[in-house]
Structure 1
């Protein structure tokens, strides 16, 4: 694996100083249409954003960098799990890092949800906060997709001993201790179940936080389709 890193643009005038010890990790693959807006939004609250460009064939990396993110690049596409592991390792190189957020690049996650999860992590002395779409009614899911994702949750809970309501939401927050405990080896979608499995086998303190996931025509076209939900379930079972 080959990586390269670039320094970010200056932070916006008023990112929240309460989040100066937080790094946001964004796995990035061919999201040139939206990544600039995603990074700009994150940088209104979070000073430190690292995008892991996972072998994109477009100018995603340049747009992320122009928006103010640090960019770490995989020379070839390895998968979202690999991108997360690279980004988390990068964030932990900063000795001042207290927490790490994982955040999708396609615009479906909300900055205010991430901020609330970081605040809760530190206020309650937790190691992991998982975002969940299923503890309130804000996230709109069609019935079949909801059923498929629920099936993945049931299987994951039975095999890990956890009691989550949403096992495959990419919005998560880890304390430094929680991030250091992770060893993501599944490069693709099965990494989500792997993370839950590792947390379940540890003494890490965790909680769930309701979040509002915004499904748009764009995000569905970039991997949030029903077929992708089925792929998640299949990889969960095989993983």
Structure 2
């Protein structure tokens, strides 16, 4: 199994994230997406395989690069996408792998923050944006997904071989869901806990990204099929 960690300017946390993952899953590829800090060097020192984009291309491109790298490794059968900012838990990955082995044998399991109602740890505005994004996405509704933009995913070789993300930025999550629907991959959700820290919440522009996700959902709803 390979864990794909897309990273951009994560020097302050990447070593701890990689070390934590490798306590359970030794095969980690960190895609340094054009960072100008020590992200790549620290990830390598922590034991990850490192692939570097010379310029910042966006999370979608980093995930695609990481999956392409991982699927070339001998014996690669399961793949995980795992955020670099410390929000994801290794224990949730273990539970999602177990979900992959259940009788219905999904091709992909996506983490959900909404398995047991509104999660108290999710900031209220982000919660509204995430639920709105799921509601306006035709593919998410068709597949019955509650948290389609969760970055924690476990999937099999079928999905890895068919994955072709062309949207490089945050809208890659919507494209990922569309690919699931178009390819008729079997999908399931599993409850996960997202660790919101001051650091993870300070990364990027979460509100703007959320608005972009919702806008992307409206745009896709209006695109001819």
Contact 1:29 1:56 (C-alpha < 8 Å) held by counterparts: yes
Contact 1:82 1:188 (C-alpha < 8 Å) held by counterparts: yes
Q: Alignment partner of 1:161: what SS?
A: helix
Cα 1:159/1:138, change in 2 over 3 Å = closer
Residue by residue over 1:61-84, the C-alpha shift from the partner in whole angstroms, topping out at 9 and shown as x without a partner, is 001011110000001110000000
| Within-5 A mapping of 1:103-118 | 103-118=82-97
Stretches (4+) displaced over 6 A: none
Q: 1:176 aligns to what? A: 157
Query: How much is the aligned-residue C-alpha RMSD, in angstroms?
Result: 1.7
Q: Alignment partner of 1:201: what SS?
A: helix
Q: 1:134 aligns to what? A: 114
TM-score by length of 1: 0.86
TM-score by length of 2: 0.91
Contact 2:3 2:82 (C-alpha < 8 Å) held by counterparts: yes
| Within-5 A mapping of 1:14-163 | 22-124=1-103, 125-136=105-116, 140-157=121-138, 161-163=142-144
| Within-5 A mapping of 1:185-224 | 185-223=166-204
Contact 1:27 1:87 (C-alpha < 8 Å) held by counterparts: yes
Deviates more, 1:138-147 or 1:89-98: 138-147
Aligned length: 218
Contact 1:157 1:163 (C-alpha < 8 Å) held by counterparts: no
Q: 1:6 aligns to what? A: none
Q: 2:223 aligns to what? A: none
Structure 1: unaligned runs, 5 residues or longer: 1-21
